[in-house]
């Protein structure tokens, strides 16, 4: 599981969200520097790169 969030958004991850993600051994949390709210609009290339990276790690999936 990959989670991307804005550095300057609505206060970031809540303590509960951060705790849940830290307890998940397969979670990757990515903070996008300088962003405020709508990541695909603010940093479309960075988000596209993250999706490609996540898919590469996930592999081809079941057949």
Q: Where are the domains of the chain?
A: 34-63
Question: Is the pTM higher than 0.85?
Answer: no
Residue corresponding to tokens 């520097």: 33
H or E element in which residue 63 lies:
none
DSSP letters for 1-49: -EEEEETTSSSSS-HHHHHHHHH-TT-EEEEETT--S-HHHH-HHHHHH
pLDDT at res. 58 = 82
- In percent, the amount of the chain with pLDDT more than 70 equals 97
Q: Which long-range contacts (CB under 8 A, 24 or more apart) does 59-62 make?
A: none
pLDDT beneath 70: ranges in the chain: 11
């Amino acid at each position: 599981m990959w989670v991307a969030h804005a550095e300057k958004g609505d206060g970031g991850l809540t303590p509960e969200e951060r705790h849940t993600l830290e307890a998940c051994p397969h979670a990757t949390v990515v903070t996008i520097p300088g962003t405020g709210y709508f990541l695909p609009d603010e940093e479309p290339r960075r988000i596209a790169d993250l999706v490609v990276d996540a898919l590469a790690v996930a592999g081809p999936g079941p057949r």
